[in-house]
Amino acid sequence: MDSLAAEAFLNASHKVYGLAMRPLSLGHAFVLESLGNPFYHGRLGTPEELRVAAWICANPPLSALRLGGAGNLWWRYRTRNADFEREVARWKVFVDDFCTPPQLWTKTPKPGESRAEPSRIPHQISTAVRLMRLGMSEREAWQTPVGVASWYEAAGYETESGSRLDIVTDSERVAILRQKLKEQQAAASDIEDKDEGNG
């Protein structure tokens, strides 16, 4: 079995800033992206942005934020001295646990061939629609964890089209990592040789 598929479907429990995180769903991802929250895409933001991201993911998908409510204010007060770097690390583990879609080989366009224009529809909406076509209700679709939704989407495509997606296997991922490591070691060796030649 593909390790990314196992990671998508078999999840641990997570806490960020003391809040129990719900499974990171399409609905959560949609809200995080609509707010431009950097933490969803692995970029570093401010402690306030991480608190907002944690609060969103501790509540039901697409629910009202209510960031000024009494519960939110008390939680902010209790966690005001929390270690930011530690909470960022917890957040990253949480996102990595739920955001593990199939890894596809990237195909280079042939000469004269152009790539299709990307859709302007937010991809979470497109994915939710595809899940509803598979028989889910709208609510179920938006509550589906991001990684699980991607695997359902891929399986649905293969089932309906009869085509096979070119998914990178575990052994291929290992080979890619080994090749990258060799290239890094060769580059480091070249730098050392140049330093010795200049010495």
Segments of the chain assigned E as strands: 15-16, 19-20
pLDDT digits (tens, 9 = 90+) for 41-52: 889 999 999 999
DSSP annotation of 144: S
Q: What is the pLDDT of residue 92?
A: 96
User: Residue length, the chain?
Assistant: 199
pLDDT digits (tens, 9 = 90+) for 129-147: 999 999 999 999 999 999 9
Q: Are 166 and 105 in contact (CB under 8 A)?
A: yes
DSSP annotation of 39: G
CA distances (Å), 72 to each of 159, 182, 198, in order? 45, 49, 60
Q: What's the whole-number average pLDDT of the chain?
A: 88
CA distance 156 to 44: 34
